[in-house]
Amino acid sequence: QLQLQESGPGLVKPSETLSLTCTVSGDSISSVTHYWAWIRQPPGKRLEWIGSIFYSGSTYYNPSLKSRVNISIDTSKNQFSLQLSSVTAADTAVYFCARQFLREAFEYWGQGTLVTVSS
Amino acid sequence: EIVLTQSPNFQSVTPKEKVTITCRASQSIGSRLHWYQQKPDQSPKLLIKYASQSFSGVPSRFSGSGSGTDFTLTINSLEAEDAATYYCHQSNTLPGTFGQGTKVEIK
């Protein structure tokens, strides 16, 4: 059974870098039919796609965040990671990782982790 | 960026009633429209992909239709466990975007 689990600090200071890791179990992250994605949900706001990565390391990002985002993948550990730099209070959100069919629907999601940006 | 607008924002429904949620795209997206269900304090779950294809394990009372700019999610014979917020999502044009959500409450 496929499971995705986010991990990382729940509190990040303004101007610092947010770092999260998603550990995948029950499926190989080296799938040729799936991307691996990060999505966030600020309190009371709609979901926002951050970016996605293929097992080869190929990435594509939301242009609104592209200058601050880096997504990487470690196939040996079946994990992929998110780094978001220069964070502000506006980056406070629940962050989800998900498996994405090609570049289409998000088929399975992690439980989500709340990251608060505050000094 | 494509804007997805859902209606209504909120719906209070009695069990066994039929629910219809619409999602309108600011420009044509073909059939690359997907629907998710998010229950309180849970992550979203995929219900319908490509406008009308049911995802694995989803109850048959959930169905989707539409193409171009106008899409519909229908829940036939609502059950108490269907209380949730429903989101549409388009993957036709980068960046992928989501609707604002429709909250369905059980009376």
Task: Check residue A95 and give its pLDDT.
Answer: 98
Average pLDDT over residues A65-94: 98
Q: How far is B56 from chain A (nearest CA, A)?
A: 9
> Which pLDDT band holds residue A110 (cuts at 50, 70, 90)?
very high
Task: Check residue B88 and give its pLDDT.
Answer: 98
Instruction: Kindly determine whether residue B94 and residue A106, on different chains, have CB atoms separated by under 8 Å.
Output: no
Beta strands in B1-107 (DSSP E): 4-7, 10-13, 19-25, 33-38, 45-49, 53-54, 62-67, 70-75, 84-90, 97-98, 102-106
Task: Check residue A11 and give its pLDDT.
Answer: 98
Of A105, A111, A112, the CB nearest to B91: A105
Q: How far is A100 from chain B (nearest CA, A)?
A: 11
Average pLDDT over residues A89-103: 97
Q: Report the residue of chain A nearest B41, measured CA to CA.
A: A111
- The burial class, CB within 10 Å (0-12 / 13-18 / 19+), for A110 is buried
Of B42, B95, B98, the CB nearest to A63: B95
Of A60, A62, A107, the CB nearest to B46: A107
Task: Check residue A117 and give its pLDDT.
Answer: 98
> Which pLDDT band holds residue B102 (cuts at 50, 70, 90)?
very high
Q: Judge whether B3 and B96 are in contact, CB under 8 Å.
A: no
Average pLDDT over residues A107-118: 98
Q: Between A and B, how many residue pairs show a Cβ–Cβ distance under 8 A?
A: 51
